[in-house]
Amino acid sequence: MLTATPAWAAPGDPLWASLVDGPAPGVNSLDRGEDIAIGADGTVYVTGTVYLTGDSDGGAATGYDYATAGYSSSGTRLWAAHFDAGQQLDGARAIAVDSSTGTVYLTGQSYAGLAGWDAATLAYADGGVQLWHSRFGGRTGSGTPYGIAVDPDNGNVYVTGEVNGATTGQDYGVIAYDGG
């Protein structure tokens, strides 16, 4: 559910505000925003995590999911999308936008069962249409991404974060993706 307030004129005053309140009754405090990016056209992209107990049509609960939305510079929500990898424990951490194509990339943590935690990275086209997603589990099946960036020259996408090494313990790593 989205609420927006009109723009005010004084410097430092809020221009608009949006509240993303997940549909889970009684546990809405589990919703959180994690990162924000601005597209070349001024579109504001926000990603985070919401808790879903099921949809209004009686659909199955998906637990924690990535939640991503695009807003106009005046605060109108243009689109919203959820990503569920199937284990009920997914949480977006970082977002970036390719300034030449407008493709939105995000990464976060996704539980892979007994294999541990994976870094799950995905791409959205304009309007929130998912283009692809990829999982990376590190050397011992555990990875936590914290940052994402897009190379403006070739569209490659880079993710960095924590990787648990089999013999070295906690390390940091970088994953490069062909952004498509």
Give me the percent of the chain exceeding a pLDDT of 90: 43
Structure tokens at 35: 């990162």
What CATH number is attached to the domain comprising 151?
Answer: 2.120.10.10
Structure tokens at 47: 């990603």
Q: Using an 8 Å Cβ cutoff, are 153 and 165 in contact?
A: no
Residue 42 included in any domain: yes
127: domain range? Answer: 28-177
Residue 32 included in any domain: yes
CA-to-CA distance for 45 and 38, rounded, in angstroms? 6
Q: What is the pTM of this model?
A: 0.83
Within 8 A by CB and 6+ apart from 46, the residues are 20, 33, 35, 36, 68, 69, 71, 95
Q: Domain count of the chain?
A: 1
Residue 5 included in any domain: no
Residue 12 included in any domain: no
- Residue 157's nearest CA partner among 166, 165, 167, 147 is 147
Q: What is the pLDDT of residues 111-142, one digit of tens each?
A: 877 667 888 999 999 899 999 999 887 555 57
Residue 60 included in any domain: yes
CA-to-CA distance for 171 and 163, rounded, in angstroms? 5
